Amino acid sequence: MTALTDAPTTRVRLTVGTQAALITLLVGAICLALEPVAPWLVKWPAAWVLPATDWVGSILTTVLTTMKPVARGFSALMAYPMDWANFVLNGTPWPLVIGIVTAVGWYLGGLPMAALGFLGLSFVLASGYWSESMNTLALVAVSVPLALLVGGAIGVLANEFPRIKNALQAVLDIMQTVPTFAYLTPLLLLFGFGPVVGLIASAIYAAPPMARNVLLGLERVESEVKEAAVMAGGTRLQQLFQVEIPSASTQIMVGVNQCLMAALSMVIIAAVIGGFNDIGWEVLLTMRKAQFGEALIAGMVIVVFAMVIDRMSGALATERKRYDTRVVWGLLGFAVIFTVAFWTRLPVPSDLTLLDPVSDALDNGLTEFTRSNGAALDAFKNNAMFYVLLPLRIGLDQAVLPFTWGFAWTTNMSLGLFLAGAAIGAVLAWRGNVTGGLMVLIGFGMLETGISNLPWPFVLTGAAALGWVAGGPRLAIMAAGLLSTILISGLWDRALLSLYLSGAAVFACAVVGGLIGLLSAISPLAWKIVRPICDMLQTIPLFVFLIPVLMVFQIGEFSAFLAICAYAIVPMIRYTRHGLVNTPEEMMEAAIASGATQFQIMRDVKAPYAAPTILLGLNQTILYAFAMLVIAALIGTTGLGQSIYLALGKADIGLGISAGAAMAILALVADRLVQGFAEERRKALGL
């Protein structure tokens, strides 16, 4: 990073960054120049592709088929708790369920939490999606204990046996980057169609956060507390269960919270395989039928559940006041009396249509809105597509057409573009920033070519160069090596498409999110407004993001782009603000005492100090964007996400797993590169 933003010096020095940029530029230029004589330098020839996807498919199919009887047995076994949970949740009269949730809310967080529980569930009741919601909850209710048990056990074992800890952490890292849909295909083969797949998938997806937090919590128990337990003469089991685990309870509760949210999110995503009448399926169905009013209401139901579960389990992780238990009993008593008194007159929840007028009104309003603003919306969408997204994807040379831009792209224009790039680069280089100049030139080249048409040697060299600058030769080899596996397995084109869309979204998030974060850091008022929105966006399960963008912009890449941005922008905002706000007071005072203005403090003190934190935010944003990219395949994206989704439909394990692995590789490489830069910055600041 230092190298990229090297302070101006009059003498031209070839730093690592400059060399890396120069090599990358040369490789790119040579590939493009030689394209007419050697097209294989740009496009990896189909003849060179190894049928890795098929191999993966046949190997996995064999393995999974042998495991199938066991899995089916397990599946049959899991049907019991599932049926039972379903029976309990659906069989309990709704006033009792609402009463219990309200009482639990009171017990955990007093009046506000009780109100949240009561109003939230009342909304669910009024929406008419009560029984679908209970079906979803039944899945969560069975998968979460499973995930807690497995995750907790993994966390404890990792703590007990340091030797397996590193391996385990790597596995957890990878599990976090493998897209959710990719789990589903092999599970489908193993367990067959049905709710059990959703159950297992959500348990698998929800266990890692629990394991991580249990391990973290146990590691963070003060060493003297552990030693005190040893010196008291406790056996290892006594130390663990009487001292260490209870001492780590706060962190473990954070794990429970994350586990619950992950399980809920995955249960809803798993609805795409169908076969279970739950709320996620309802959203999908109404979305497909373009009944957006209903889809929105169903989405709201999911959001309500997410909020209630999140806030209530979050209260477990904070030190809390004890609320009067008499109120709890009073609430429960009231619910029982209410149920008994109105037993014969309780409406069947599914017949409730209180919110139907609302959804109708929403539908009509939407139709009206799109009709009257259709032109403006289309113009907005088309401008964004034609002038930003499309050129990024296929390059100016192909995106500029008389149809879109009003004129055709000519060779002279290409020349002009390169000249302009060279001029800007030369100015930067002349002022001492050679690396910056080279980067500008590379950027202009990429703009001309388009991300999906980039020559493969250029991408590999570029990744290796970034790796070299960020973390040395090992990272460079890792980045290039991992990406090569995508190249030779024939998923390269789709990977570049995914890279383009997530890249565009990450870039937009970085700019907009960074600005919002900056604003929130400067103005407490802005943060007061932004913060609940961020909390909200982070609570909403991925799936629900699709509804509003689809309503307004229909199926297509632009909608996917917006959905990704909406989800991935949050960490950028949070980390930027956090980094800027948490500059040590002493440094600020030193700057003020030196007579720096507000702007100078921001530029010279706060921003450099916050850089590592902001980079971590960017890292999170990248991972979020990849996660959402796959979900967004539901509403029309090309690339790996689409492949994973298609593989799910065709139960094509080879494609599903390979594409999933390719996504994971992209995410992993991006993650390591950004982490490398952040680490380097932290070291430079002596943190």
Partner 1 sequence: MTDANTPAIACQDLWQVFGPGAEKALTDALARSGNDADAASKILRETGYVPAVQDANFDVKEGELFVIMGLSGSGKSTLIRCISQLLDGTGGQIRIHGEDIMTASKQRLIELRRKKLGMVFQHFGLFPHMTVLDNVAYPLRVQGVSRKERLKKAAEVIELVGLEGREDRYPRELSGGQRQRVGIARSLVADCEVWFLDEPFSALDPLIRRQLQDEFLEIQAKLKTTIVFITHDINEALKLADRIAIMRDGKIVQIGTPTDIVLNPVDDYVREFSKDVAKGQHARVASVMHQGTEGVGPDDPGLRTDMTLDAALAHCMELYEPVPVRDKEGNLVGMVNPADLAAALQVEEA
Residue 355: strand, helix, or coil = coil
Choose one: 81-89, 221-229, 373-381, 466-474; the region binding partner 1 (CB under 8 A): 221-229
Q: How far apart are CA 509 and CA 487, in angstroms?
A: 28
In terms of Cα–Cα distance, which of 439, 479, 433 is closest to 25? 439
Figure out which of the listed residues 58, 166, 249, 350 binds partner 1, where binding follows CB under 8 A.
249
Q: How far apart are CA 184 and CA 660, in angstroms?
A: 11
Residue with smaller CB distance to partner 1, 8 or 246: 246
Choose one: 231-239, 380-388, 480-488, 542-550; the region binding partner 1 (CB under 8 A): 231-239
Figure out which of the listed residues 232, 290, 525, 536 binds partner 1, where binding follows CB under 8 A.
232
Torsion angle of the four alpha carbons 169, 173, 174, 180, in this order, in degrees rounded to the nearest 10: 130
Q: Is 246 in the site for partner 1 (CB under 8 A)?
A: yes
In terms of Cα–Cα distance, which of 345, 390, 650, 635 is closest to 500? 390
Contacts of 315 (CB under 8 A, 6+ apart): 108, 109, 113
Residue 5: strand, helix, or coil = coil
In this structure, are residues 176 and 208 in contact, taking their beta carbons and an 8 Å threshold?
A: yes
Residue with smaller CB distance to partner 1, 180 or 239: 239
Residue 215, classified by CB atoms within 10 Å of its CB into exposed (0-12), middle (13-18) or buried (19+), is buried
Choose one: 189-197, 210-218, 243-251, 401-409; the region binding partner 1 (CB under 8 A): 243-251
Figure out which of the listed residues 180, 247, 286, 433 binds partner 1, where binding follows CB under 8 A.
247
How far apart are CB 229 and partner 1 at their closest, in Å?
A: 8
Figure out which of the listed residues 37, 46, 231, 593 binds partner 1, where binding follows CB under 8 A.
231
How far apart are CB 110 and partner 1 at their closest, in Å?
A: 21
Q: Is 9 in the site for partner 1 (CB under 8 A)?
A: no
Q: Is 230 in the site for partner 1 (CB under 8 A)?
A: yes
Figure out which of the listed residues 162, 233, 406, 686 binds partner 1, where binding follows CB under 8 A.
233
In this structure, are residues 467 and 676 in contact, taking their beta carbons and an 8 Å threshold?
A: yes
Q: How far apart are CA 531 and CA 519, in angstroms?
A: 12
In this structure, are residues 328 and 565 in contact, taking their beta carbons and an 8 Å threshold?
A: no
Figure out which of the listed residues 93, 194, 234, 274 binds partner 1, where binding follows CB under 8 A.
234
Q: Is 320 in the site for partner 1 (CB under 8 A)?
A: no
Size of the site for partner 1 (CB under 8 A): 18
How far apart are CB 208 and partner 1 at their closest, in Å?
A: 26
Q: How far apart are CA 342 and CA 325, in angstroms?
A: 26
How far apart are CB 232 and partner 1 at their closest, in Å?
A: 4
Residue with smaller CB distance to partner 1, 315 or 469: 315
- The tokens for 563 are 């959905």
DSSP 248-285: THHHHHHHHHHHHHHHHHHHHHGGGG--S--HHHHHHH
Q: What would the x/- binding string for partner 1 be over residues 168 to 207, using CB under 8 A?
A: ----------------------------------------
Figure out which of the listed residues 225, 337, 415, 536 binds partner 1, where binding follows CB under 8 A.
225
Residue with smaller CB distance to partner 1, 227 or 324: 227
Residue with smaller CB distance to partner 1, 7 or 237: 237
Residue with smaller CB distance to partner 1, 229 or 668: 229
What stretch of H or E contains 196?
helix 195-220
Instruction: Please state at what angle helix 180-191 crosses helix 249-269, rounded to 10 degrees.
Output: 70
Q: How far apart are CA 463 and CA 89, in angstroms?
A: 52
Q: Is 2 in the site for partner 1 (CB under 8 A)?
A: no
Choose one: 241-249, 340-348, 484-492, 656-664; the region binding partner 1 (CB under 8 A): 241-249
What is the greatest pairwise CA distance in the chain? Answer: 90
- The tokens for 214 are 């249990």
How far apart are CB 305 and partner 1 at their closest, in Å?
A: 31
Q: Is 243 in the site for partner 1 (CB under 8 A)?
A: yes
In this structure, are residues 430 and 378 in contact, taking their beta carbons and an 8 Å threshold?
A: no
Q: Is 224 in the site for partner 1 (CB under 8 A)?
A: yes
Q: Please report how many Cα atoms fall inside a 13 Å half-sphere around the Cα of residue 497, on the Cβ side.
A: 18
- The tokens for 220 are 């963070």
Q: Is 227 in the site for partner 1 (CB under 8 A)?
A: yes
How far apart are CB 316 and partner 1 at their closest, in Å?
A: 14
How far apart are CB 216 and partner 1 at their closest, in Å?
A: 16
In this structure, are residues 118 and 338 in contact, taking their beta carbons and an 8 Å threshold?
A: no
Residue with smaller CB distance to partner 1, 231 or 375: 231
Figure out which of the listed residues 58, 238, 350, 410 binds partner 1, where binding follows CB under 8 A.
238
Q: Is 163 in the site for partner 1 (CB under 8 A)?
A: no
Q: How far apart are CA 294 and CA 12, in angstroms?
A: 64
Q: What would the x/- binding string for partner 1 be over residues 24 to 63, using CB under 8 A?
A: ----------------------------------------
How far apart are CB 228 and partner 1 at their closest, in Å?
A: 4
How far apart are CB 249 and partner 1 at their closest, in Å?
A: 7
Q: How far apart are CA 260 and CA 253, in angstroms?
A: 10
How far apart are CB 238 and partner 1 at their closest, in Å?
A: 5
- The tokens for 35 are 């394209």
Torsion angle of the four alpha carbons 129, 133, 134, 136, in this order, in degrees rounded to the nearest 10: 150
In this structure, are residues 60 and 186 in contact, taking their beta carbons and an 8 Å threshold?
A: yes
User: Binding residues for partner 1, per CB under 8 A?
Assistant: 222, 224-225, 227-235, 238, 242-243, 246-247, 249
